[in-house]
Every structure is written in structure tokens, then in C-alpha cells.
């Protein structure tokens, strides 16, 4: 009897220990990548990346106060140019750097997540579905009123991103089939600014990283497929791209640790929590 009781107590403690270990955050070990490192890591570029960068930086700096990480936007083109010119240590881009950029700057690319780009409208707008042809005609200025799409009789307030934006590039290539974007479209500087603009304009049409879509905007299905992590992952929604962090030459020291952290279980969990599809 006592032997059985002793065995049951042992098994219970073992189970409790296993549960406790499983409950520990993965980053408790992943942050060991930064042991012995110090200094400043400057990051700039793609705005879709910023929520992941901020959370990763927060965890790193909380554990290692001797490491300082600064994060700025500017778009993919800015990230590639600034890292190439060694103004920052990491340049973020929502597109793959061109062969010319890679050769010119000696760039090394690290794709740590996959993201879609979807058209969005204000939640009050009854138009929740478009065909590729309709979307292309809207951005080309051929369709200008929501009434033509089954909505109310109001002009479409069109929003786009600047030409340095990787979000714009993938949307232009894969959703607009490299068609025209009318010059009168309102230009916003980031995914966050786009989401805010559409959320505050009942007659707006814009586009954002799928990872940024929340209840403040309404995703628009394209040819019957709603942009979401699930449809991007299974390939049914085709407007997708990789999220890259780029260095000039092979990363070293704390910069290498940060890149490695993005690919660690903790980094990939952060990417998933921020609405992106992890690569691992």
C-alpha cells in the first residue's frame, strides 16, 4: 500500500514538473543567444515588420540592458538603402531585394515570415467583395463610385502607399497585375496609417498587410477569396510576400543574435502572434 502511494506521489510530482517546464516561456532559453553581447542595433524599413520588431526588441532589452535597439519605418526601399549604406545594421523589407541591390550592397537576406496584402474598406461599407478586374479598374480610375459596385452613391476615396513600400509593390504586382494607380489616390506612409485612414473614412478603399487587419477595417474578398492567414498559407489567396530582415554582409555579434532570435521558437511565436505566418 505504502509502495503504491509512494509511486503515485512520485508520478504526480513528475507530471507537475513536466507541466511546469512546458509552461515556461520559450524565450527563456532563446534569449541566451544574446549572452555576452552589447551595443546598439539600428533597424529601419518595412512598416509591416514593426510590431514584431518592437516585441522582439522589448524582450531582448528587458533581459539584456546593455543592448539598445532602435526601430524606424520608412518602407522597404528605405530599409534596403539604409542597410546597404550602413546607416542601420538591419533593413526590413516586404519584398526580396533585387539582384542589383544585393550585388551593389553585398546584402544578405533572411525571410522569417510570410504575409499577405489585402484590400480593405471601412466596416460601414456594404461592399465586401471585388473581382480582380474591378479592383484594377478602381485603381486605374475607371470605376469611381461605390454605386457601380452595388454600394451607395458616393465617390470612392482611394488610398495607396508610396513607391518605396514593399506592401505597395506586392499589391501592385499580384493584385493589380502591374496596372495603373491613379495619381489622385491618397498616399499614406505605413500600414498603420493606412488602417487608420480607412477606419476613419466610410468611403475609403485601401490595402494593408494581412497581419495588420483587425476589427477596425473590413477585408475585401478578391475573386471570392478573403485575405487571411489561412488563405495565404494554403495558397488560395495569391497576394502574398515574404518578410525579410536584411544585413550588409553576414551579421555578427548582437545583430546575428537578433536575426537568430527571429528564427527561434520565441521569434516565430512573436511573428504568429502579430498575425504573420512563421517560416518554421
What's the average model confidence in pLDDT over 96-110? 97
CB of 134 closer than 8 Å to CB of 174: no
Q: 116-240 belongs to which homologous superfamily?
A: Periplasmic binding protein-like II (3.40.190.10)
For the ranges 11-15, 134-138, 152-156, the lowest mean pLDDT is seen at 11-15
What sections of the chain are H helices per DSSP? Answer: 2-23, 27-30, 50-63, 76-84, 99-105, 132-139, 166-170, 191-199, 229-233, 253-263, 265-273
Answer whether residue 26 shows pLDDT above 60.
no
Are the folds of 30-115+242-278 and 116-240 the same? Answer: yes
Is pLDDT at 22 greater than 50 in this prediction? no
What are the Cα distances from residue 171, in Å, to 65, 83, 179, 180?
Answer: 39, 24, 10, 12
| Span 225-237, average pLDDT | 95
pLDDT attached to residue 1: 42
* Separation CA 70–CA 126 (nearest Å): 41
The residue-averaged pLDDT of 127-144 equals 98
Confidence of residue 39 (pLDDT cuts 50, 70, 90): very high
Pairing of the two strands 67-74 and 39-45: parallel
* Interatomic CA distance for residues 271 and 209, integer angstroms: 13
Nearest to 66 by CA among 94, 97, 86, 41: 41
pLDDT digits (tens, 9 = 90+) for 51-83: 999 999 999 999 999 999 999 999 999 999 999
CATH number listed for the domain at residues 30-115+242-278: 3.40.190.10
Distance, C-alpha 157 to centroid of its chain = 25
- Per-residue confidence (pLDDT) for residue 10, from 0 to 100: 37
How far is it, in rounded angstroms, from Cα 93 to Cα 109? 9
State the average pLDDT for the chain: 91
pLDDT exceeds 80 at position 274? yes
Residue 251: band (very low, low, confident or very high) from pLDDT cuts 50, 70, 90? very high
CA atoms within 13 A on the CB side of 160: 23
β-pairing, 240-248 vs 107-121, is: antiparallel
Q: pTM for the whole thing? A: 0.80
Nearest Cα to 173, choosing from 120, 211, 136? 136
User: How is residue 245 written as a grid cell?
Assistant: 530582415
What pLDDT, on the 0 to 100 scale, is given for residue 99? 97
The secondary structure of 90-148 as a DSSP string is EEEESSPPPHHHHHHHTEEEEEEEEEEEEEEE-TT-S--EE-HHHHHHHHTTS--BGGG
Per-residue pLDDT at 253: 98
Domain boundaries, the chain: 30-115+242-278, 116-240
Contact 94, 240 (CB under 8 A): no
Q: What is the band of 28 on the pLDDT scale with cuts at 50, 70, 90?
A: low
Cell numbers for 90: 538591419
Q: Mean pLDDT over residues 82-108, rounded?
A: 97
Please give the Cα distance from 192 to 51 (Å, whole number).
Answer: 10
φ, ψ for residue 213, nearest 5 deg: -70, 130
Amino acid at each position: 500500500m505504502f509502495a503504491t502511494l509512494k509511486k503515485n506521489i512520485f508520478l504526480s510530482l513528475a507530471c507537475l514538473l513536466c507541466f511546469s517546464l512546458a509552461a515556461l516561456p520559450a524565450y527563456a532559453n532563446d534569449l541566451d543567444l544574446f549572452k555576452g553581447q552589447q551595443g546598439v542595433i539600428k533597424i529601419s524599413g518595412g512598416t509591416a515588420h514593426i510590431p514584431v520588431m518592437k516585441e522582439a526588441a522589448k524582450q531582448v532589452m528587458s533581459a539584456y540592458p546593455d543592448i539598445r535597439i532602435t526601430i524606424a519605418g520608412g518602407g522597404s526601399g528605405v530599409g534596403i538603402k539604409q542597410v546597404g549604406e550602413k546607416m542601420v545594421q538591419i533593413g526590413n523589407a516586404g519584398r526580396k531585394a533585387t539582384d542589383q541591390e544585393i550585388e551593389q550592397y553585398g546584402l544578405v537576406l533572411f525571410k522569417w515570415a510570410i504575409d499577405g496584402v489585402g484590400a480593405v474598406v471601412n466596416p460601414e461599407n456594404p461592399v465586401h467583395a471585388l473581382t480582380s478586374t474591378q479592383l484594377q479598374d478602381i485603381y486605374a480610375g475607371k470605376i469611381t463610385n461605390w454605386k457601380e459596385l452595388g454600394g451607395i452613391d458616393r465617390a470612392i476615396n482611394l488610398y495607396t502607399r508610396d513607391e518605396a513600400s514593399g506592401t505597395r509593390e506586392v499589391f501592385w504586382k499580384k493584385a493589380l497585375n502591374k496596372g495603373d494607380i491613379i495619381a489622385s489616390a491618397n498616399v499614406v506612409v505605413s500600414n498603420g496609417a493606412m488602417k487608420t485612414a480607412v477606419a476613419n473614412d466610410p468611403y475609403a478603399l485601401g490595402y494593408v498587410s494581412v497581419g495588420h487587419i483587425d476589427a477596425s477595417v473590413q477585408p475585401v474578398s478578391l475573386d471570392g477569396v478573403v485575405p487571411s492567414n489561412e488563405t495565404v498559407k494554403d495558397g488560395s489567396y495569391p497576394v502574398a510576400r515574404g518578410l525579410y530582415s536584411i544585413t550588409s554582409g553576414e551579421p555578427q555579434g548582437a545583430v546575428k543574435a537578433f536575426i537568430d532570435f527571429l528564427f527561434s521558437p520565441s521569434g516565430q511565436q512573436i511573428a504568429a502572434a502579430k498575425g504573420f505566418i512563421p517560416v518554421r
